[in-house]
Amino acid sequence: MIRTRFAPSPTGFLHIGGARTALFSWAYAQRNQGKFILRIEDTDIERSTTESVQSILDAMVWLNLPPDEGPYYQTSRMNRYQEIIQRMLTEGSAYYCYCSKQELEQMREQQKLQGIKPKYDRRCLHHGQKNTNTKPVVRFKNPETGSVIWHDLVKGKIEFSNLELDDLIIARSDGVPTYNFCVVVDDLDMNITHVIRGDDHVNNTPRQINILQALNAPIPLYGHVPMILREDGEKMSKRRDAVSVMQYKAMGILPEALLNYLAKLCWGYGDEEIFTMEQFVNWFDLNNVSGSPARFDIKKLFWVNAQHLKLTNNNRLKDLVLEIWQQDNAKYNQVLSHVEQYGSDKLEQLIELIKPRVDNLNSLANNCIYFFTPFPIADIDCANILTNDAQQILTKFVDQINQINVWTLENIKLSIKEFCQTNQIKMPQLGMPLRLQLFGTKETPAFDALMYLLGKDETLNRLGK
């Protein structure tokens, strides 16, 4: 069975590059009826925080990429790492190294002078335990000859000469196992068949393969996906860019739109631009992932989001809009109570009218507010719109619509048409003041549809005031 994993280090929030890697690992497992495992790589005690763990878990929930197993935590597996280190020491694939920092420094200086690439010269392996009080580190005995070759599922054949690889420290002098080693033991114990991760890990892969080989363990397949860069080709940074997944939630992006956009950044399936996660899983293959870095284009993301908003059912959008208002209860208290009064189905119908006009949930929520704010205070200078003439038009218009017996959209449209014809009025002459009087804003979808939603009583009520 195919088993993939996503293995974030909890040293910060979930980065969009991480989300993309998680998506590919999840989709690959889904596509192949496999399992997707979540592993929190928290051995770096100084940099890992519980807040980061929580924010990563929250982001995974928001993205709707549920693991089939996990989260597993490396810090709970320390005994297992020690067990393997002991085994390797016994079998001779690892050895203690007592060299001090200064000694290693001197060794490197000398190698440089001799024009050799700096590398640990194995003096502790050859000369046995030193008579010293220094607590040793444990080093992996990397093969000295040959090379490590793997057929990367994204980048094709990759080869590293063993001459290039140092004897990696697998346990520090305080006994704490190191990153590359823990990854290997975890991938082995968790029976990972496909390691899909960012290509910043390409250099770690030959070291990890060598350790797996020393343990006589099966070697998983590796697929290294390219980095996501800024639009100008520079690396993304926390300082300048929105790199956290949850920042996109705050911008009103739908999770499936973010995933759709991230997927498209470095993967393609024909000309398909907009797709559901179900379609993506059906189409996804690592062969179609591009090996070169992708550039993040926020405008394109909002465009993708707009397309997804149109496809999302109004009931879900209603819940998301309510969630936005509820988060700032003090500010939207009145709006929320009017939604309750008018019925939330009105909000759904309103969303149907507004969603084609916006590209994010915050705008959607903002554009719904005026409907639920009777007698709003106009946010614009309305003196030149609500002129005496305009007031007169509105007064006549009230009489006209008062006569509508059955409040249907069709009848409202007919009534408006008739009103304009009889009084020789152009639509904007009515529309502008009417919008302002009913909703306190000039920017709304078709006012006949909004009047229909408001209902006759409320329409007249608002116009009467």
CB of 5 to ligand GLU, least distance (A): 7
Please, are residues 219 and 209 in contact by the beta-carbon 8 Å criterion?
yes
Nearer to ligand GLU, 41 or 448 (CB): 41
CB of 197 to ligand GLU, least distance (A): 4
The CA-to-CA distance between both ends of the chain, in Å, stands at 69
Nearer to ligand GLU, 192 or 450 (CB): 192
Nearer to ligand GLU, 194 or 318 (CB): 194
- The torsion angles phi and psi of 457, rounded to 5 degrees, stand at -60, -50
Please spell the DSSP secondary structure of 116-150, one letter per residue: PPP----HHHHH-S-SS-PPPEEEE---SSSEEEE
Nearer to ligand GLU, 286 or 430 (CB): 286
CB of 453 to ligand GLU, least distance (A): 49
How far apart are the C-alpha atoms of 226 and 26, rounded to whole Å? 17
Count CA atoms within 13 Å of residue 211 on its CB side.
30
CA distances from 80 to 84, 184, 200 (A): 6, 12, 27
CB of 9 to ligand GLU, least distance (A): 4
**Binding site residues, ligand GLU, CB under 6 A:** 7-9, 41, 183, 197, 201
Residue 235 gets which letter from DSSP?
B
Residue type, 39: R
Q: How many CB atoms lie within 10 A of CB 84?
A: 21
**C-beta nearest to ligand GLU: residue:** 197
CB of 89 to ligand GLU, least distance (A): 24
Nearer to ligand GLU, 21 or 360 (CB): 21
How far apart are the C-alpha atoms of 410 and 139, rounded to whole Å? 81
Nearer to ligand GLU, 183 or 286 (CB): 183
CB of 182 to ligand GLU, least distance (A): 9
For strand 169-171 and strand 194-198, is the pairing parallel, antiparallel, or unpaired?
unpaired
